[in-house]
Amino acid sequence: MKIYNTMTKQKEEFVPLEANTVKMYTCGQTVYNHIHMGNARFYVVYDAIRRYLEYRGYNVEFVQNFTDIDDKTIQRANEEGISTIEIAEKYIASTIADLDALNIQPATFNPRVTQEMPEIIAMVAELIERGYAYENTGTVYYAVNSFLQYGKLSKKNIDDLEAGARVEVEAGKKNPMDFVLWKPAKPGEPSWQSPWGDGRPGWHIECSAMVRKYLGDEIDIHGGGQDLIFPHHENEIAQSEALTGKNFARVWMHCGMITVDHKKMSKSRGNFATLKEIAEKYPYDVLRFFFLSGHYRMPMEFTDAAITAAQQGLARIKNCHNSITHALESATNSGETPNAGEYFNDFTRAMDDDFNTADAITAIFELVKHVNTQLQNHPPKAFLTANLSTLEKMLDILGLSTPKQETPDAEIESLITARQAARKNKDFAESDRIRDQLISMGIILEDTREGVRWHRA
């Protein structure tokens, strides 16, 4: 199996650090809005990659964070007139509901920045102690010149970066390229105590600290969108490798952007549509199929025509599945059994080549074409069974099988009652566990004077 490594700009044979385990981290959502189509593609791509690694027999330790404190979350909280905690809970629940509808498996861990402050603060302190960072009036900066390999992922030359006009020079910086590890508190904003005064972390240090805590000093795969290569992932490398002296990630993977009129879809551009909005017109499984119909490293242009084509393609596959199932009802065991394995071999060959889901889907269509042709000749039961099994296996690997059904209201009410009982008994650990379980089910809780109210995200 070969994976394209952004660090080396070539496909490399994948050899994990441990024989049967893959340690994988992807930068997750900053939770201040519902996820848009670009976010959704990212989640689907890495879920498909994880599923294929698991099919190949690896135990995948998959960590994907939620950034639940940020300038954007603070701004959104002010706009909606609620706390940043409430904003985070609202949009984490919304995100999880969307991911569940996309048939995305839960990560092994979904750490939240606000719950990882001790580890973040400790890492900042260690960087200062080792001479890689410095403090100035409550702000801690990473000294980019202290890490001699800075720029190795993005292939950017630090001298050119320093000379460029892109970086605004802040008072207190020793070098215009130095970036913030810890920022002092502003009036009315959430903050945490630290050796440098009350404040909150910079964006880049958060991921370094969470990777280190949940996966260790070295990991196998670090993933994200292509827009994160610089500065976010470059800065993660500088922070982590400065402390450990180890290769932070063996493979760096980056997913292409969803574009509209050939421009990146993003909230800041205002050219985005939330996944929920698009799902009102197209089913979630169609959207998942659309995301997988292109190679993950390539940009995808978002148009109604492209989604409609995906819908028609998925319908063709489902119709074939239904036709096989129907034919089995009257099939006999007589006759020869054509070999179905060649299509699955083509499928795995494509996935082994840098997770080429586009070519893997082509293999599915070739099987569908073959089966549809043979159905006219009333093939034997063994042929139908073999091809049905192969088709279902390929769809399952890509996560295109039927998602979980919606949780019944009675089960939700039962969990809420149990949470209330735990709170009454001051068993806050159990109360928090049930709350997190409800959030993972896409349930938003509202504690009111009249009791607990809930609704689906």
The lowest-confidence range among 150-154, 281-285, 333-337, 352-356 is 333-337
Q: What percent of the chain has pLDDT over 90?
A: 74
Tokens of 24: 């994988």
Beta-carbon count within 10 A of 337 CB = 15
Residue 208 and residue 347 share a domain? no
Give a yes or no: residue 142 inside a domain: no
In angstroms, the CA 213 to CA 219 distance is: 12
Q: Which of 397, 421, 440 is the last residue of a domain?
A: 397
* Stretch 110-136: mean pLDDT: 97
Long-range contacts of 437-443 (CB under 8 A, 24+ apart): 438/412, 439/89, 439/92, 439/93, 439/96, 440/96, 440/100, 440/106, 441/96, 441/97, 441/100, 441/407, 441/412, 442/93, 442/94, 442/96, 442/97, 442/100, 443/93, 443/407, 443/412
pLDDT in tens, 40-78: 999 999 999 999 999 999 999 999 999 999 999 999 999
Q: Does residue 377 lie within any of the structural domains?
A: yes
Do both 315 and 421 map to the same domain? no
How many domains are there within the chain? 3
For tokens 């020079």, name the residue: 169
pLDDT more than 70, % of the chain = 93
* In a shared domain, residues 312 and 247: no
Q: Are 350 and 2 in contact (CB under 8 A)?
A: no
Domain stops at, among 275, 295, 320: 275
pTM assigned to the model: 0.85
Measured in degrees and rounded to the nearest 5, phi and psi for residue 21 equal: -130, 140
Last residue of a domain, one of 366, 397, 428: 397
- Asked whether residue 246 falls in the same domain as residue 391, the answer is no
Q: Are residues 348 and 251 in the same domain?
A: no
- In this structure, the answer to whether residues 314 and 365 fall within a common structural domain is yes
Q: For residues 193 and 331, give the distance between their C-alpha atoms in angstroms, rounded to a whole number.
A: 71
Asked if residue 40 lies in contact with residue 287, where contact means CB atoms within 8 angstroms, the answer is yes
451 lies in which domain range?
409-456
* pLDDT band, residue 403 (cuts 50/70/90): very low
Is residue 161 in a domain? no
Q: What's 26's domain CATH number? A: 3.40.50.620
pLDDT at 340: 64
The answer to whether residues 47 and 93 belong to one domain is yes
pLDDT tier, 404 (very low <50, low <70, confident <90, very high otherwise): very low
Is residue 267 very low, low, confident or very high in pLDDT (cuts 50, 70, 90)? low
Q: Please write the tens of the pLDDT for every residue from 190-201.
A: 999 999 999 999
What is the average pLDDT across 299-310? 94
Residues 258 and 338 in one domain: no
Q: Are 112 and 68 in contact (CB under 8 A)?
A: yes
Domain assignment of residue 311, yes or no: yes
Same domain, 365 and 254: no
For residue 24, tell me if it sits in a domain.
yes
Q: Are 201 and 124 in contact (CB under 8 A)?
A: yes
Q: Is the pLDDT of residue 419 over 70?
A: yes
The CATH number of residue 354's host domain is 1.20.120.640
pLDDT greater than 50 at residue 165: no
